Structure 1
């Protein structure tokens, strides 16, 4: 039986909500540049605020779960998810402190293709030729960015961005190993774990009103507001269309920082980022066309 297409009003609301979520996610670079704390403090306290604000969508969407769901959270697959999510979030903030926002944004855009390779290696899932081609092009773009950072003091940050991307790709794949694994409890636990791990190294003296406000807003928008907007909006859209809207984050994240802080992306990032953006756009548009044809 064919799936009933969503109404035009529902579709329009879905587009607006997913785009609003993308805008909220793209503000991460702004928060990182507004902070005057060290990276350890930023990781710890942003994670704590993320856990606090994640309680709202957990309750709203039933993510708080049952006792069985929490038990599943601490099963091997859940522990792997928690570990990778913790590493990903720590590397995410660390990368912002050690390389340009543009580098972090464009390297992160390769996560879906790394996840496709991991799915092939771990789950033996076939990779569509479009995904393979787009992934290879993205790899070339990342190579351009990292090679230019070798002598420019950004190499550690680029490698942290790559670590963030690889571990997040694992986060995408792990739930497919265990369909019973709940979505939100592992994220909540990973946020608390990051706080507990990095709080001992944080500088309490730098947590003035300004930094606490920025960290609270950072945790709220990335873990609560954006998540709620995306979940509600994505229900009204085909997955490929949600992904296509999400690609605008690649452009918006460095643009906000360039406009507000005059942080101009390096030339190699513009070249490599253009290569990655073109590959992502080509892949998502082709997937969107295929989904329309199937319907």
Structure 2
């Protein structure tokens, strides 16, 4: 049975929409770490304020969505949605811990390993076998991440580097499970901030709110994070999990630039070398995969046209 050209065009359009969504989400997310740093807040304060506002904003957006479309998306998409939300909760906590225990550059460079985790998990859990370029990219990016963790041992902030690696794995796992379920989980990542915020409540109650510029933290939690996470959580509906994960490459490139510009914080030479290996590998990988996807779509359209 032949595929109508219209179906191929529609598929290409959905793919383009997915790329635009996750690309925008990655760009917005690049302001996360700089805003946390600008707020000069304590760890528990960040966990509570950022998490609570992110969750509240997600619920508010969902309520507006339901008011406009009464049969719209559920806040939590069943048991699978609950599991994915729980995984995002762990990722939110480990991410904030990593920000406080290693440099911003180290965090985002290690988070760039996310696409490789997604490729491996998608292979094991979804049956989407990685392409040859992806299989070649995995050891190269792993080498870069090991360099960054090695830099962490030199400077004594290796725990933050390992927490960033755990965050990359958890985000990749959540994205892959969402992809496997084929369910709209646009609010899962933002709602995942609730549990860390809840855990932070007794600590903040005991020591109080500690922030020199809480407005930056409020902007981050109420606007930046919900928009970024909802865009990224929508991605698996349109494109494969490894492609969604590559949106974090945008943050990897831009976040250290913002931090370098504002705080003059330069990564160590070893961490910078590792970051260059990771980013360079992923850029080459993305270009190769994009070329393959375009050629595949052109072949599909050509075959469909011949059968009309």
Task: Give the superposition deviation at 1:197.
Answer: 1.7
Q: Which runs of 5+ in 2 are unaligned?
A: 298-308
Answer whether contact 1:108 1:164 (CA < 8 A) is retained.
yes
Match of 1:79 in 2: 82
C-alpha distance in 2, partners of 1:179/1:235?
Answer: 6
C-alpha distance after superposition, 1:163-218 (max 9, x if no partner)? 111111110111244334x403433542222211222222663356822x122111
Residue in structure 1 matching 2:159, options 145, 156, 159: 156
Task: Give the superposition deviation at 1:48.
Answer: 0.4
- RMSD (Å) for aligned C-alpha atoms: 3.7
Match of 1:258 in 2: 260
Secondary structure of the structure 2 residue equivalent to 1:263: coil
Which of 169-178 and 43-52 deviates more? 169-178
Match of 1:272 in 2: 274
Q: Does 1:138 align with 2:141?
A: yes
Secondary structure of the structure 2 residue equivalent to 1:265: coil
Match of 1:281 in 2: 283
Residues 264, 196 of structure 1: alpha-carbon distance in 2 compared, 3 angstrom cutoff: same
Residues 32-47 of structure 1: matches in 2 within 5 Å? 32-47=36-51
Residues 222, 148 of structure 1: alpha-carbon distance in 2 compared, 3 angstrom cutoff: same
Residues 277, 60 of structure 1: alpha-carbon distance in 2 compared, 3 angstrom cutoff: farther
Could you say which structure has the larger radius of gyration? 2
Residues 165-244 of structure 1: matches in 2 within 5 Å? 165-180=168-183, 182-202=184-204, 205-207=208-210, 210-211=213-214, 213-227=215-229
Q: Which runs of 5+ in 1 are unaligned?
A: none
Query: How many matched pairs?
Result: 287
Residue in structure 1 matching 2:251, options 249, 252, 265: 249
TM-score under structure 1 normalisation?
A: 0.82
Secondary structure of the structure 1 residue equivalent to 2:181: coil
Task: Give the superposition deviation at 1:37.
Answer: 2.5
Secondary structure of the structure 2 residue equivalent to 1:202: helix
C-alpha distance in 1, partners of 2:252/2:157?
Answer: 19
Task: Give the superposition deviation at 1:126.
Answer: 1.9
Residues 65, 122 of structure 1: alpha-carbon distance in 2 compared, 3 angstrom cutoff: farther
Secondary structure of the structure 1 residue equivalent to 2:154: coil
Match of 1:111 in 2: 114
Task: Give the superposition deviation at 1:148.
Answer: 1.9
Match of 1:4 in 2: 9
C-alpha distance in 1, partners of 2:246/2:128?
Answer: 23
Secondary structure of the structure 1 residue equivalent to 2:9: coil
C-alpha distance in 2, partners of 1:79/1:280?
Answer: 31
Match of 2:26 in 1: 22
C-alpha distance in 1, partners of 2:186/2:48?
Answer: 19
C-alpha distance after superposition, 1:115-158 (max 9, x if no partner)? 11122233444222111111111100001111121131110110
Answer whether contact 2:114 2:248 (CA < 8 A) is retained.
no
Residues 228, 78 of structure 1: alpha-carbon distance in 2 compared, 3 angstrom cutoff: closer
Task: Give the superposition deviation at 1:288.
Answer: 1.1
C-alpha distance in 1, partners of 2:171/2:241?
Answer: 18
TM-score under structure 2 normalisation?
A: 0.79
Secondary structure of the structure 2 residue equivalent to 1:218: helix
